[in-house]
Structure 1
Amino acid sequence: MKAPNDKLTQWLDRSRMSRGELARRVKSKAVQWNQPHISPDTTRIRCWIQGEMPRAPIPDIMAAVFSEHVGYRVTTYDLGLGDSSSPDAALIYNPSYVATVEVVADLGRADVDRRNFLSAAPFAAVAGVGPSRDWLMNTLDQQEPVGPHVRFEDVTAVRNMFGEFQKMDVLQGGGSGRLVLAGYMTQHVYPLLRRTYTDEVRRALCEAAAEQTYLLGWMAYDNGEHGTAQRYLIQSLRLAEESRNAPLGAHVLAGMADQATLLGDPAEGRRLAQAGRHGLSKVKSPACLADLWCLEGRALALLGDKAAATHAVTQSEAAFEAVRPGTEQAWAEFIDPAYLHGEHANTFRDLGDGVASAEHARRSIDHAKMQKRARRGAMSQAALATSHLHNRDLEAAHAAGIRTLSLSRQVKSSRCIEAVQDLQRRMQPFGTHRLVADFNEKARDLVAA
C-alpha cells in the first residue's frame, strides 16, 4: 500500500485550493505547455494525494501551478513528487514559452546544486538538428505576438551584469565564474520570466536572459562540461527566438557549431553554422556573420575540403571588414581580430598549411596580448607551436609551447588544457628529444590538474 503524500496535502491546504480547483489549474497549465491530453479530475487528484506518482510532465506542471499561485518557486521536491526533472528536458526545443521558462529554471537550479543527474548528463549527438531547424523556420516567419509587470530598469540591470560576467569569462576562463553566474540567473533572472510584463519588456527580458543563458553554456563548454553546455545553449536558442533577435539566435548556433566540431562532428558543426547564416538573411550583423563563416571554415578543414575552407575564411574576413565600432550587440564584442585570427590559424593548421596558420596565429597573439586575454593567447600560441612542428622546427615549437603553458596557468579553461595535450601528441614523433621531455615535464602539473 502506497504511503499518503503528506507534502502535497499540506501544500493544497496552504494554497486553499480545492481538489477541483487544482485539477482545473493543472489542466489549464497543461494546455499552455502543449500537453492538452493531460486533463485530471478530482478523483485523480485524490489518487495523487494518496501516494500515486503522476507521470511526467505532470509533477513539473503541478510545481508550476503552485509556484504561480503562491508567487515564488515551488519544486517537485516540495510537493512530495520527487525530482521529476530530467537532463533530457533541456535538450528539447519546446514550442511553449511557459514550459521553456520552467525547464531553464530547473536547469539552473540543478546546476547550482551540482546535482548528479546534470553533471553526468552526456553530450547528445545531433541534438541540435531539431532546435536549429525550429529556430530558423520560426525566425524567418515571425509575426508580432499579441501581448499583455517587469520594468525596463530590471532588464537594464540584467544587461549590466552580462557585461561583467562576459569579461570574467574572457579574461579568466569559463571555469572561474560560471557557478556564480548560474546562481545569479537562478535567483534573479529566471524568476523574472515568470512575472507579467508588457510585450516590449518581455522581448527585452527574453533577449537579456538568452544572452546570459548562452554565456552559461559557453562557460560550461570552456570548462569541459559539454552535456551541461549543450542544454544551456538549446534553451538559450529558444529564448532568443522569443526575443525576436535573429542575430542573437544565430550567435547561439555559432556556439553550438563550435562545440559539435570540437567534439568530433564537423559535419554537424558545418550544418549548424549554415543554419545560423541563413537566419541572418533578413538582418545585418557583420560580426556574427564573420563568426559563422569562421566556424564553418573550421568544420570544413576537418572534413578535408581545402577549397571550401579557404573560401569560408575569405568570407569571414570580408564580413568582418563591415563591422563598425558601436554598432554590434554586447555579446559580439569579442568577435574580434584576436578571436577570428586565432580560429583561422586552427583552420589552416588542420589543412596542413603551416605558413598561413603561423601568420594568423601571430596576428591573434598580438591582439590578445594588447587586451591581456590569456586564454585566447594560449590557444593561438599552441597553434603557432604546431605550425613550427609542421616545419620540423622543434626549438621554435618548444618556445611557443612554453608560452602556451604560461598563459594557460592564468585561466581556468579546459580548452587551454586540451591545447597543451594536443601539443604533447604532436611532439611525439620527435621521440625522447630533450625539448620534448622538458615540455612534458613543465606541462605535467597543469595537465594533471
Structure 2
Amino acid sequence: MSEQNDSLAALVQESEFSWAGLARRVNDLGLAEGIALRYDYTAVNRWIKRGEKPRSPVPVLLARALSERLGRRITPSDLGMMEEQTLAARGLEYAHSPRATVDTIIDLGRADVKRRNIIRAPFVLAALGAPSRDWLLATLDETVTDRGPRQIGMRQVGGIRDMFALFQDMDVMRGGGHARTALVEYMQSYVLPLLKRDHEAPVQRALYEAAAEQSYLVGWMAYDDGEHGLAQRYLIQALRLAQASKSSALGAHVLAGMSDQANLLGHPREALMLARAGRRGLVEGESLACLADLHILEGRAHAALGDSAAATRAVTQAEQTFGRVTHENEPTWAKFIDTPYLLGEAAHCFRDLGEPDQIETFAEESAAVARQQGRARRGALSEAALAIAELERTHVEAAASKATLVVDLAASVNSSRAIATVRDLQERMAPFADVPEVQRFNVHARDLLGLAA
C-alpha cells in the first residue's frame, strides 16, 4: 500500500484549497493548454491519502495552481511528485537563470539522497558541448546587474566555504562515497535556500561561488563513486553557478572535472575540447594550479588518442606551470592539485602510451608523497601505474606484488575508481593466471574487495 503524500497534504492545507476546488483549478489550467482533464475531489484524495502520482503534465499543473494561491514558486518535487525522466533531462541543461539552476540542484539532491532512479541516469556525450560553449561565451562577455537588499554577509559565506574545505578533505582522504549524502543534505538545508533570496551583489556572487564549489564537489564525489550520469548533471549545474559568480577560475575548474570524466569514459576528443575551453576562458594569472590541471588533462586526452608528442608537450607545460604556483594564493578547491595528483596524472598519460620508464619516473614520486600524506585513493592509482610499468617490462611477479598493495589501499577508501583500478589490474594479469604471485593477488582482491578474477 502506498504512503500518504504529506508534502502535498501540507501545501493544500496551507493554500486553503478545497479538494474539489483544487481539482477544478487543475482542470482549468489543463484546458488553457489544450488538455481535457476531468478531475474531481476523489482524485485529490487519491494523490494525498494513497500517494498516487498523476501522469505528466498534471504534477506541473498542480504545482502551478498551488503557486498561484500561495504566492511563491512550488515545483512538482515540493509536492513529492518529481518526474525523474524530466529531472534527468533538466540536469543536462545549462539554464538561462541561476535560480532555475538552484532548483535543479535541489531536485537532484532530493533524488540523490532518496536513491531514486536518477542515480542510474546515463552519461550523455552530446550534452557536453553546449554547457562549455555557453560558459565560455558568457565568461568572455559578462554583464553585471544590481541586486536587492542584503540578507546575509560575507561572514556567513565564509562559514559555507569552511564546510566545503571540510568535505573536500573527506573526499581526498576517504573517497567520494564517504560523505556525499552528508554534503547534499547540508546544501539542501542551508546553502541552496539562501540562493532563493536576493542579496547585495558582492554577497550574491560569493554565494553563487560557494554553491558552485559544493555542487562541483558533490558531482565529483558521484563521479568517484561510479554514478556518472548523476555526476554529469551536478557538474553542468555547477558550471552555470560558476558563471553567475563571475569566477572564470572556478568555471575552468568545473570544465577540468568534466574533461577528466569524459576521458575516463572513453571520449578523449570531447575531453580535449573541454580542457581547451577551460584554458581559453581562464583569466590569466587567476589560478595557475587550475591552468596546470587543464594542461595535464589535455595531456591525458592526447595520450588516450595515441598522440605521444602532444601528450608529452602538455605534461611539460603542466610541470612548468605547476612550478610557478603559490599555493597559499590559490582557492581552497585547488588544494588537491598538488604534487601527488599532478605527477600521478602524468604517469597515467604515459601508461596510456605504454612507456614504462616515464610511468615510473612520475608514479614513484606521486605514490611516495601520497603515502606520506595518508592519501589511499591517490596512492592506489599511482601504485597501479607502477604495477602496469612492471607488466610492460614483463616483470610479472613484481607487478603482482605492487597490485596486491593496490588492493590494500583500495579497501581503505570508499571509491569506485579505486575498485575499478584493481579490476583493470586483474584484466591485465589474466594472461599470467598460473603465476603464483598473480594467484595471491587475485585471492587478496577476492577476500578484501569481493572481486573474482
Considering the TM-score relative to the shorter chain, is it more than 0.5?
yes
Distance 1:205 1:302 in 2: 37
1:100 to 2:101 alignment: yes
Among candidates 175, 178, 181, match of residue 177 of structure 2: 175
1:290 to partner: Cα distance: 0.5
Q: 1:285 to 1:55 in 2, by over 3 A?
A: same
What aligned pairs does 1:205-216 form with structure 2 within 5 A after superposition? 205-216=207-218
Q: 1:179 to 1:68 in 2, by over 3 A?
A: farther
Q: 1:42 to 1:311 in 2, by over 3 A?
A: same
Partner of 1:36: none
Partner of 2:138: 138
Q: Give secondary structure in 1 for the equivalent of 2:328.
A: coil
Q: 1:448 to 1:68 in 2, by over 3 A?
A: farther
Partner of 1:392: 394
1:342 to 2:344 alignment: yes
Q: 1:53 to 1:213 in 2, by over 3 A?
A: same
Partner of 1:127: 127
Q: 1:56 to 1:171 in 2, by over 3 A?
A: farther
1:166 to partner: Cα distance: 0.4
Residue identity in the other structure for 2:90: A
Which range moved further: 395-404 or 216-225? 395-404
Which range moved further: 409-418 or 73-82? 73-82
Q: 1:145 to 1:354 in 2, by over 3 A?
A: same
Distance 1:132 1:402 in 2: 40
Distance 1:74 1:132 in 2: 30
1:60 to partner: Cα distance: 9.1
Among candidates 321, 329, 345, match of residue 319 of structure 1: 321
Q: Is the 8 A contact 1:15 1:69 kept in 2?
A: no
Q: 1:48 to 1:262 in 2, by over 3 A?
A: farther
In structure 2, the gaps of 5 or more residues are 23-27, 44-53
Q: Give secondary structure in 1 for the equivalent of 2:180.
A: helix
Distance 1:227 1:56 in 2: 27
Deviations 1:369-409 (A, max 9, x none): 12111110011000001001111112221221121111111
Q: 1:297 to 1:78 in 2, by over 3 A?
A: closer
Q: Is the 8 A contact 1:361 1:381 kept in 2?
A: yes
Q: Is the 8 A contact 1:246 1:283 kept in 2?
A: no
Deviations 1:83-131 (A, max 9, x none): 4752111110011222111111111111111112x12211111311100
Distance 1:9 1:403 in 2: 55
Distance 2:70 2:213 in 1: 25
Q: Give secondary structure in 2 for the equivalent of 1:176.
A: coil
Partner of 1:329: 331
Residue identity in the other structure for 1:214: Y
Partner of 2:308: 306
Q: 1:190 to 1:59 in 2, by over 3 A?
A: farther
Residue identity in the other structure for 1:286: L
Partner of 1:29: none
Deviations 1:338-386 (A, max 9, x none): 0000010010011111001011000101111121111100110000010
Q: 1:332 to 1:193 in 2, by over 3 A?
A: same
Distance 2:277 2:69 in 1: 37
Partner of 2:157: 155
Q: 1:394 to 1:109 in 2, by over 3 A?
A: same
Distance 2:145 2:66 in 1: 23
Partner of 2:442: 440
Distance 1:199 1:360 in 2: 45
Distance 1:48 1:213 in 2: 41
Residue identity in the other structure for 1:137: L
Partner of 2:220: 218
Partner of 2:116: 115
1:82 to partner: Cα distance: 6.0
Distance 1:60 1:238 in 2: 28
Q: 1:169 to 1:11 in 2, by over 3 A?
A: closer
Distance 1:339 1:233 in 2: 20
1:61 to partner: Cα distance: 6.7
Deviations 1:408-438 (A, max 9, x none): 1110111111111111111123241111111
Partner of 2:46: none
1:236 to 2:234 alignment: no
What aligned pairs does 1:399-438 form with structure 2 within 5 A after superposition? 399-438=401-440
Q: Is the 8 A contact 2:351 2:388 kept in 1?
A: yes
Q: Is the 8 A contact 1:250 1:280 kept in 2?
A: yes
Distance 1:67 1:415 in 2: 48
Deviations 1:198-226 (A, max 9, x none): 11111000000000010000001001111
- Counting aligned pairs with the same residue, the percent is 48
Aligned length: 424
Q: Give secondary structure in 2 for the equivalent of 1:86.
A: helix
1:195 to partner: Cα distance: 1.6
Distance 1:47 1:16 in 2: 22
Deviations 1:283-320 (A, max 9, x none): 53110011011111111101010100011101111111
Q: Is the 8 A contact 2:120 2:227 kept in 1?
A: no
Q: Is the 8 A contact 1:6 1:49 kept in 2?
A: no
RMSD between superposed Cα atoms in Å? 3.1
Distance 2:276 2:62 in 1: 35
Q: 1:56 to 1:445 in 2, by over 3 A?
A: farther
